């Protein structure tokens, strides 16, 4: 593997004589700069292409059990987005997952870890993998499902044989090869991509080099983000994570260099840390082609989590790296995506927010949005908002 080295100077900071670091930025520390051109809202095209599949909107729903079930796959798909079903969650462990979901939503906050470990100890049933895929396909939308690297060969093949359109290979951090303690490779990603027969999205990663290497395996998209999710506790448990604005910009640079060398374009999908429309706009301005979000969709009245949201690693039997948070149930999935918004905090009408931002910035397409100017603006959330914060309204809501 030979990557194309970036030559930009990146200032290093000494955190001690034996360790250097570099400054990284999150969404709250950056802001977007309007230029001399503005557009009519209707001129903004937010579509994206993934393999042979065209998505009218760049929104993907995270493969989390409180966010996606078969019904959400159908509803978001008909709105133009893509919902990813967790092939190793309650949907494939239980014939009737509603009972397990009711227990998770109804338990005390001091008991949910043990309960979830118990519920997720029930083995995945291979027949339910095929059944869920066929149920999704019957809805007439593009279908996608997630599997961990160690089970990708087995469960991925069952799902694709049942008609799945897109497979997502996902773990906290994914490399091009996963090895066991015995030293043998469990997943050769390049070989898997060549054989599986459908577009593969892989994640997660946060650096230029890892993104570039993953692109070389032939994947259609990479998930960018480690640690920022609303229910994720990896930064506390493992000390691992990079702020999203920097992660996206680094991986987007790898995408551009890889395309220049290979002629093939790989989607960068920002995954996690986006709660409101402005976060999505910033993610795309930093270089993302699409975004994968969980907690904003978990708030939908038709989400399976019943007002709760939890991470994929929460049920781990030995080291949970996620928690269960209450996000509440607000409006329908359709209103979260397309409005009309009933609140002023940016959690509803996400596509309206994206198109309005693009129009204000003079960006007619996602690619043009990736080229807008970004500034470091650590005061942007409080600047001029003294009344909102004092009265806990708008941007000052607690």
What is the C-alpha to C-alpha distance for residues 147 and 88, in angstroms, rounded to an integer? 7
Sign for the CA dihedral angle at 176, 63, 251, 11 comes to: negative
CB 350 within 8 A of CB 336: yes
Domains plus CATH for the chain?
A: 44-396 (3.20.20.70)
pLDDT of residue 7: 43
Cβ partners under 8 Å of residue 20, min gap 6: 12, 13, 14
Quote the CA–CA distance of 184 and 234 in Å, as a whole number: 26
d(CA 15, CA 379) in angstroms, rounded, equals 24
Q: Which residues are catalytic?
A: 232, 321
The pLDDT mean for the chain works out to 90
Coil, strand or helix: which one is 208? helix
Residue range 52-86, pLDDT digits in tens: 999 999 999 999 999 999 999 999 999 999 999 99
pLDDT at residue 266 in the model:
98
**Tens-place pLDDT, residues 29-58:** 999 999 899 999 999 999 999 999 999 999
CA distances from 284 to 212, 243, 294, 314, 351 (A): 19, 15, 17, 28, 13
DSSP 124: P
């Amino acid at each position: 593997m030979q990557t194309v080295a970036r030559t930009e100077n990146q200032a290093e900071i000494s955190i001690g004589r034996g360790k250097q670091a570099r400054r990284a930025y999150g969404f709250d520390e950056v802001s977007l700069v309007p230029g001399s051109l503005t557009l009519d809202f209707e001129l903004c095209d937010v579509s994206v292409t993934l393999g042979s599949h065209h998505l009218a909107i760049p929104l993907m729903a995270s493969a989390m059990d409180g966010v996606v079930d078969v019904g959400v796959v159908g509803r978001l798909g008909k709105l133009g987005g893509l919902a990813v079903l967790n092939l190793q969650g309650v949907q494939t462990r239980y014939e009737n997952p509603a009972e397990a979901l009711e227990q998770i939503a109804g338990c005390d906050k001091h008991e949910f870890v043990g309960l979830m470990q118990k519920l997720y100890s029930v083995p995945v049933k291979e027949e339910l993998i095929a059944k869920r895929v066929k149920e999704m396909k019957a809805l007439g939308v593009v279908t996608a499902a997630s599997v961990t690297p160690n089970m990708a060969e087995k469960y991925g093949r069952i799902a694709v044989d049942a008609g799945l359109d897109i497979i997502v290979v996902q773990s906290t951090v994914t490399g091009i090869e996963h090895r066991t303690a015995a030293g043998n490779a469990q997943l050769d990603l390049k070989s898997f991509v060549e054989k599986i027969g459908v577009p593969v999205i892989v994640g997660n990663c946060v650096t230029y080099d890892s993104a570039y290497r993953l692109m070389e395996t032939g994947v259609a998209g990479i998930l960018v983000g480690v640690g920022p999710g609303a229910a994720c506790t990896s930064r506390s448990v493992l000390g691992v994570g990079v702020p999203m604005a920097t992660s996206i910009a680094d991986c987007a640079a790898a995408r551009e260099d890889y395309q220049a060398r290979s002629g093939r374009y790989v989607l960068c999908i920002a995954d996690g840390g986006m709660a409101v429309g402005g976060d999505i706009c910033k993610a795309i301005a930093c270089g993302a082609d699409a975004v994968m979000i969980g907690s904003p969709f978990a708030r939908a009245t038709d989400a399976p989590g019943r007002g709760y949201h939890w991470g994929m690693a929460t049920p781990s039997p030995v080291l949970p790296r996620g928690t269960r948070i209450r996000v509440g149930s607000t409006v329908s999935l359709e209103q979260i995506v397309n409005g009309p918004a009933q609140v002023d905090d940016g959690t509803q009408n996400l596509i309206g927010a994206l198109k309005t931002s693009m129009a204000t910035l003079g960006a007619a397409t996602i690619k043009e949005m990736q080229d807008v100017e970004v500034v470091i603006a650590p005061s942007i959330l409080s600047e001029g908002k003294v009344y909102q914060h004092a009265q806990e309204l708008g941007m000052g809501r607690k």
